Every structure is written in structure tokens, then in C-alpha cells.
């Protein structure tokens, strides 16, 4: 898995503090940033958090490049609706020889891993076989419609990808560019940094949190699962490891 912060709102902490200042002080646009020292910025952000007034944090956004993750993760990720996604297409991009993600529990069990790898190999072979058969079929059809062989084959490959992808497993790798504003990230980290989140998206969430904290430390100093700020929000479904999660969060803050 690779997660990289590609772009973000410059001086996000200060921008959000300015938005908060506009809400609570008699400042006009021309003087809004005046006097916003690091200390004043922190003061305004503390006030926002204490009031539960999160709308100003939406002005700061963050864009991530993500690769080496599965389509299974993608299905969970897109449940977070206040975000923008660009995902590698399985129609325009051939997945011949596709890479895949192996769950740690399968990796740790030799018998399960052997079956898993055999299944991935069969999927790859079936994908190639179906894709090649469809390419030949569609190329012939397009040529009969008067298209050149080169053009017919290019069209046939895209059309073949579209249907052959149905045999690809959820483990198949994908690449994503994702943008979220700070408020959406708060919700994302609360849900996905939790130990009860699925392992792959949990790992990704912690990598994301570590990177945004480096560029906007005040905005994200308390971001994370509910248990880093108080009681676990999972009730009877708690993982029972809140102290370990808090220790991980503290260690990240100390980097």
C-alpha cells in the first residue's frame, strides 16, 4: 500500500482560523488575516472545537494518491459521500497480470495462502482467456462494419475489458485519487482508524492521518477514533483495546 498527500490547502490551520474569526469577530475581508499569529490561530481553533462548530474546517481540503489497495477497499471508501474520487478504470485499462492484495490472516496461514494464490492464478488465466476470445470476436464484428483492422482491434479491446472484468476478484489492485475536506476527514478517521474497521482501510486511514497532521497539526491533533478523545463509541462491540489505540495516537503525535 502506498498513500501520498499530493496537495492540500496552504496554511489550512490559519485559513480555518480566519473563517472562525469572521464568524465571531467584527473583521472585514481585508483585515481578516491581521493578527492571526500562531497563538491566535490555535485559540480560534480551540474555540471551534469546544463549541462543536465544524463548518469552518470545510474550507481546508486534502488530496491523496493511493495505490496497492484492493477493489474491496474501494467499495468501503466510496461510502464516504462527501469526497471526490478518481479511480483507475477496468474498462480502459487492461488488468492482464493484475496485482492483488493478500489479507494478513491468509498470509499467516500456509494452507489458506496456497488456496488463495491458486485462486488468484485461475482468475488471472480466466480473465486473459475471456478477454482474448472477446477481442477476436469484437474485432471481426467491427471490421465487418467497415473499420480498419487497427481501429477495430482498439475498439474491441475496450469492449472486451468491459466484460472480462466481471471475473476479477475483490482482491484486484486499483489506484485512487481522493479529495476530502477537513470535516469529512474527521468523520473518516473516527470510523476508519477504529480497530473495528476492516484492516485494509484502517491501515490506509492511519497513513492518511499521519500525513495530514504534518501539514496541519492544529486541525488534526485530536482527529482519530473516538477513543482517543474519550470513551469508545462502539458500545458493546468495543475492541477492548482503547489504551493501545491511544498509545498509537500519542506516538504518532510525537513524531
Query: Which residues belong to the active site?
Result: 192
Q: Shortest CA distance to 71 belongs to which of 94, 87, 93, 91?
A: 87
Report which of 231, 209, 229 is spatially closest to residue 219, judged by C-alpha positions: 209
**122 strand-pairing partners:** none
Alpha-carbon distance values, 192 to 196, 198, 222, 237 (Å): 8, 8, 15, 15
61 forms bridges with which residues in the sheet? 181
User: Whole-angstrom Cα distance, residue 49 to residue 222?
Assistant: 10
User: What radius of gyration do the chain's Cα atoms show?
Assistant: 24
CA–CA gap between residue 249 and residue 255 (Å, rounded) = 10
DSSP letter at 89 equals: -
Question: Residue 25 has what DSSP assignment?
Answer: S
Kindly tell me the number of DSSP H helices and DSSP E strands found in the chain: 10, 4
* Residue 73 and residue 202 in contact, taking contact as beta carbons nearer than 8 Å: no
Identify whether the C-beta of residue 57 lies closer than 8 Å to the C-beta of residue 223: no
CA distance 54 to 45: 10
Amino acid at each position: 500500500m502506498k498513500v501520498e498527500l499530493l496537495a492540500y490547502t496552504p496554511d489550512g490551520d490559519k485559513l480555518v482560523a480566519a473563517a472562525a474569526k469572521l464568524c465571531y469577530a467584527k473583521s472585514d475581508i481585508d483585515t481578516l488575516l491581521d493578527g492571526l499569529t500562531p497563538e491566535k490561530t490555535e485559540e480560534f481553533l480551540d474555540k471551534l472545537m469546544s463549541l462543536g462548530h465544524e463548518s469552518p474546517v470545510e474550507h481546508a481540503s486534502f488530496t491523496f494518491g493511493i495505490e496497492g489497495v484492493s477493489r474491496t477497499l474501494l467499495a468501503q471508501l466510496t461510502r464516504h459521500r462527501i469526497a471526490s474520487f478518481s479511480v483507475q478504470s477496468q474498462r480502459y485499462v487492461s488488468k492482464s497480470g493484475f496485482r492483488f492484495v493478500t489479507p494478513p490472516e491468509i498470509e499467516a496461514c500456509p494452507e489458506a495462502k496456497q488456496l488463495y494464490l491458486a485462486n488468484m492464478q485461475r482468475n488471472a488465466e480466466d480473465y486473459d482467456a475471456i478477454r482474448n476470445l472477446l477481442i477476436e470476436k469484437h474485432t471481426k464484428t467491427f471490421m465487418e462494419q467497415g473499420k480498419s483492422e487497427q481501429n477495430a482491434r482498439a475498439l474491441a479491446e475496450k469492449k472486451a475489458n468491459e466484460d472480462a472484468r466481471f471475473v476479477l476478484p475483490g482482491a484486484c489492485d486499483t489506484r485512487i485519487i481522493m479529495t476530502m475536506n477537513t470535516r469529512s476527514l474527521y468523520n473518516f478517521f473516527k470510523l476508519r482508524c477504529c480497530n473495528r474497521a476492516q484492516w485494509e482501510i484502517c491501515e490506509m486511514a492511519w497513513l492518511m492521518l499521519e500525513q495530514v497532521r504534518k501539514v496541519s497539526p492544529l486541525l488534526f491533533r485530536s482527529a482519530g477514533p473516538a477513543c482517543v478523545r474519550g470513551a469508545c463509541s462502539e458500545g458493546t462491540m468495543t475492541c477492548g483495546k482503547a489504551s493501545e489505540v491511544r498509545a498509537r495516537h500519542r506516538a504518532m503525535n510525537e513524531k
